Amino acid sequence: MNKRIVFRNMEKSDFMENYANEQLAKVEEFLSNERTPIFIDLTFEPSKTREHHRIELRVKTPHYEKISDYEHNGTNFYEALDRVIDVMYYELHEEKRKQHAHLKSVGRNGEFKK
């Protein structure tokens, strides 16, 4: 699993990186049975003039290619990070559910029901 955390236009924060790794653990756990290569890119980008931070999370695997980002005025990095990771986790679960539903509808299983 290739994981990269990027701090764009800001100093690297060990505390923020540790918090991000803790939050990313549930996404990593979900992807633990996925075929490799697995790429996870998390980007922090602050606003210079106001509290209008942007966080983007990209997950790319052989089965998934998802992007989750959040940018909202008045939101701190921790709230934005929690939201981005929760949305990604939800989208990965929905995609997996759709793939399993498609697999159940395709194949010989449908022929026997007729």
Tens of pLDDT, residue by residue over 39-95, are 999 999 887 766 677 889 999 988 888 888 888 777 777 888 899 999 999 998 888
Domain span at residue 99? 2-113
Pairing of β 39-45 and β 65-71? unpaired
Bridging pattern class, strands 65-71 and 54-60: antiparallel
Report the predicted TM-score, pTM, of the whole model to 2 decimal places: 0.80
Determine contact, residues 60/39, Cβ cutoff 8 Å. Answer: yes
Q: What is the CATH number of the domain that holds 93?
A: 3.30.160.100
Per the structure, the count of domains in the chain is 1
Question: Is the pLDDT confidence value at 111 over 60?
Answer: no
CA 15, CA 68: separation in Å to the nearest integer? Answer: 22
